[in-house]
Amino acid sequence: MSFIVDPRIVSTCIELGDWSLSRVFLKNNADYPWLILVPRVDNIQDLDQLPQELQHTLMDEISRLSTLVRDYFTPDKINVATLGNIVSQLHVHVVARFTNDRLWPHGIWQDVQPSPSREENTRQTLVEELRIRINSFIVPENQV
């Protein structure tokens, strides 16, 4: 059986590619540059449930994705979180934040207003550029 990503992630995100452990997604959200890592491990809800070796791999992928987000979007701050209150499947949010964004300095999860989706042409350009960067950050399989 192949790995299945929770449909709530799939329905609100665009798949960018796979790293050695995680599938990388861009959340279709015009307000915030928001990427998500979903480790391809079945039946895991929390970080501590991963074997230690995979915890290290995930932390490396979080660092790599944070670097990519910092270099590409030049945010004032990067928020990294694993919440799981709505989608219990382990996933990691990496969000670029700016001091002038709508909710600064509060968490984006406190927003009760839905954020607009990105416009099609803007979204497609961003997806293509991020896919190139995601694929250039491939972690060798022997590190998993």
The tokens describing 69, both together, are 């987000």
Do residues 43 and 89 touch, judged by C-beta distance below 8 A?
Answer: no
Q: What share of the chain is helix, strand, coil (3-state, %, to 5)?
A: 35, 20, 45
The tokens describing 97, both together, are 């934040």
Domains and CATH numbers, the chain: 7-126 (3.30.428.10)
How much is the pTM? 0.89
* Separation of alpha carbons 124 and 55, rounded Å: 32
Q: Which residue has the tokens 């070796």?
A: 53
Give, for all 144 residues of the chain, the pLDDT tens digit. 588 999 999 999 999 999 999 999 999 998 999 999 999 999 999 999 999 999 999 999 999 999 999 999 999 999 999 999 999 999 999 999 999 999 999 999 877 677 777 888 888 999 999 999 999 875 444 444
Which neighbouring-strand residues pair with 92? 37
